[in-house]
Amino acid sequence: MSRRSPSKTHDARLLIFVLSTLFVTVVGVALFFRLTTNNTPGTIAQLVKLFAHVQQGTDSWEPMLKSLDYFHAHPESPIYEAKLYDTLIYSLVSLLPLAALEKLGITGDRMLRLLAWSSWLAVWFVGGISALLASRLLSRKGAKLSVASIISIFVACIFFYPLLKGYTLGNAQTFLTLGFTLLIYLWSNGREKSSGVVVAALAMVKPQYVLILLWMAVRRRRGAFWSGTIFAAVMFSISIMVFGWRNNLGYLPVLAGLSHKAQSHYANQSMFGTLNRMVFNGENLDYHPYVYTSYVPWIYYATVASSLFLACLALFYPWGKFRGTTADIANMGIVSVAASPMAWEHHYGIVFPIFVWLWFSYGCWEQRRPWLLGISFFLCGSWLSVTTFLASKPGLNLLQSYIYFGALLLMFLLYRLPRAEENGRPYAV
């Protein structure tokens, strides 16, 4: 397929798609519940209202801040054994910024307000860095980022369900999504050492991102790998000085426990959650922090097998000249989430910059309509609360995992890029 003129990128097509997606997820979902006389479990509009008023919960902040309070009150006691509202599942390195703020006298409601505003700004920064990424990608082919595309990026970002969900929960994932967006921008611009530092910072909150450091080692990106490794070593050394060896080592049993237990709530968009919901093992619509599914051997082994398959495919797939590119590292990022037994909806916020990269690198030049890319974005970025009515339907409740399947479809599109270029269709997404 011949490359289109740089002046004819499909800006209008993108804007129409974004607005149509919003119409379906806001008006369409609300209309469905009205016509069926059912009470709606929620729509994206409700989350946008909370975002507009800078209001959020304390999903991450409460266990993190209470862990610090516990440490101050019981410096000799293991932090991870503290009886809190919810258990701390992050490494103690993640507490260092909060500990530094406390040293500056920022505590209590002031701390929560600062976290709310900073994570609110983080959402906007995701849109801003994505727009800058799009501008850089287009400029390489002699095109400019149009006003229509800028509007599309920011509207899609603000209404992107996983990102918005993470913000309204008050979850640290909002900052991780910002970090991953920065990673995609840096890697696409050849800033590999800086990228390694960003990955290490992500992994110090969510250990599954260590897979990206492993990917860097396998791809022989030594600068990226060693910069990330050194940064992690420095940060863990500081954490040891602040919290001590015992507390930091206490995170290892937490990790071991998380690998053997998870929840089947519909928000867990993973193979583990999908299989347990299919056999009605554990909670689906209700959620309780300490309620885990009963152990089912075949589900556990199926989850492990699927995770190993995704990880090995991402590490060893023969990408050809795409090996080590932005498509490659983006795919590894998706695997870092999707291969986990506990992949909540908001964890998939990281796919937003991947969609931006894929569209402005390939999709906007495609003469044919990229339907698969559109379907993947719709599944990953929408709140399809209507699927909650399928919870009790054998087989059909598989559709509750629509974000998970949308992410797998996005991986397929990334894997298809090398084959498309071999067949002379470099922009087929």
pLDDT tens for the chain, 429 residues long, are 344 444 478 899 999 999 999 888 888 887 877 777 666 677 888 899 999 999 999 999 999 999 999 999 988 888 888 776 566 789 999 999 999 999 999 999 999 999 999 999 999 999 999 999 999 999 998 999 999 999 999 999 999 999 999 999 999 999 999 999 999 999 999 999 999 999 999 999 999 999 999 999 999 999 999 999 999 999 999 999 999 999 999 998 888 777 677 889 999 999 999 999 999 998 998 888 777 888 899 999 999 999 999 999 999 998 888 999 999 999 999 999 999 999 999 999 999 999 999 999 998 888 788 899 999 999 999 999 889 889 999 999 999 999 999 999 999 999 999 877 666 555 445
Query: pTM for the whole thing?
Result: 0.94
CB neighbour list of residue 150: distance below 8 Å, 6 or more residues apart: 131
Give the 3-state secondary structure of residue 269.
Answer: coil
Q: Domain segments of the chain: what residues?
A: 6-422
CB neighbour list of residue 331: distance below 8 Å, 6 or more residues apart: 314, 411, 414, 415
Cα(23)–Cα(57) distance, integer angstroms: 27
How long, in residues, is the chain?
429
CB neighbour list of residue 250: distance below 8 Å, 6 or more residues apart: 78, 79, 80, 81
